[in-house]
Amino acid sequence: MAQVKSTNKDAYTLILEAIDVGIYKPGDRLVESDLAERFGVSRTPIREALQRLETQSLLARDGRSLIVSSLDHNQMAELYVVRTELEGLAARLAARHATREEVRVLQDMVDRDRKLIDDPSALARSNRRFHKQIHLASHNRYLVQQLDLVHRSMALMATTSIAAEGRGSDTLVEHQAIVDAIRSRDEDGAYDALRDHISQAFVTRLKQESDA
């Protein structure tokens, strides 16, 4: 198994990021020795990281093994309800508090993403960064913490809604509407645009689920 350079990240972060980018998908079994080899760290921090992830319900027991958790329909629906409200609040606060530089960064992200329209995986990764930037632009540390928890759980979905046909281009249109509202200091508009964006993503996921 190829070893992944761990840089200065701890075992917990390395495993979490591997789940987030789809290296480990829902239902995959995680083995201490394999993880230690992949990330180039000892088994003790790996074991501690797995215990922490299990406590957070990101991993589940399958007999004596730990596997990446998955979300059933009700869990997914509940997660989207929470995400929609928190993301909307983040956009509202970003419209109130974002600096000109932060708005510029958001616009640059949208502009760069136009080149990724035919690469759903890259666009999905960029989408996560875009949402994270909005969270930070809210300038509310407690909201950012809660949204981090929500987005960790989002990683337990086997597919990205952006992979659906036409969803990539729609996503960029929706992202631009969010940035425009934040730039205009339109708090209600930013809130509505972000909520509509998440709602459309949820509809796409429901269609993906019904077609599976």
Comparing CA positions, the residue from 33, 30, 32, 23 lying closest to residue 60 is 30
Q: What is the pLDDT of residue 118?
A: 84
29-64: per-residue pLDDT in tens? 999 999 999 999 999 999 999 999 999 889 999 888
User: Of 102 and 210, which is predicted with more confidence?
Assistant: 102
Whether pLDDT at 159 is above 70: no
> How many residues are given for the chain?
212
Q: With bands split at pLDDT 50, 70 and 90, how would you rate the model's confidence at 2?
A: very low
Q: What is the pLDDT of residue 208?
A: 76
Mean pLDDT for the stretch of residues 92-102: 98
Written as one string, the DSSP assignment of 3-56 is: PPP-TT--HHHHHHHHHHTTSS-TT-EE-HHHHHHHHT--HHHHHHHHHHHHHT
Q: What is the pLDDT of residue 21?
A: 75
Helix boundaries (H) for the chain? 11-20, 32-39, 43-55, 73-97, 100-113, 120-137, 141-154, 167-183, 187-211
Q: 65: helix, coil or strand? A: strand
| CATH number for the segment(s) 73-211 | 1.20.120.530
Q: 117: helix, coil or strand? A: coil
Comparing CA positions, the residue from 110, 16, 88 lying closest to residue 55 is 16
Q: With bands split at pLDDT 50, 70 and 90, how would you rate the model's confidence at 144?
A: very high
Q: What is the pLDDT of residue 45?
A: 95
> From residue 153, how far is each of 3, 17, 19, 83, 198 by CA, in Å?
26, 12, 10, 10, 15
CATH 2.30.40.10 correct for 11-68? no
Instruction: Please name the residue that has the structure tokens 């992944």.
Output: 4
Q: With bands split at pLDDT 50, 70 and 90, how would you rate the model's confidence at 160?
A: low
Comparing CA positions, the residue from 90, 84, 79, 70 lying closest to residue 130 is 90
For the chain, first and last CA: distance in Å? 31
Q: What is the pLDDT of residue 205?
A: 84
Whether pLDDT at 212 is above 80: no
Residues 90 and 182 sit within 8 Å (Cβ to Cβ): no
Domain boundaries, the chain: 11-68, 73-211
Q: What is the pLDDT of residue 147?
A: 96
Q: What are phi and psi of 151, to 5 degrees?
A: -70, -25
One-letter amino acid for residue 90 of the chain:
A
Whether pLDDT at 6 is above 70: no
170-207: per-residue pLDDT in tens? 999 999 999 999 999 999 999 999 999 999 989 988 88
Q: 97: helix, coil or strand? A: helix
Comparing CA positions, the residue from 95, 84, 86 lying closest to residue 198 is 84
Q: With bands split at pLDDT 50, 70 and 90, how would you rate the model's confidence at 4?
A: very low
Q: Over the range 17-41, which residues count as b (16 or more CB within 10 Å of their CB) and which as e?
A: ebbbebebebeeebeeeebbbbbeb
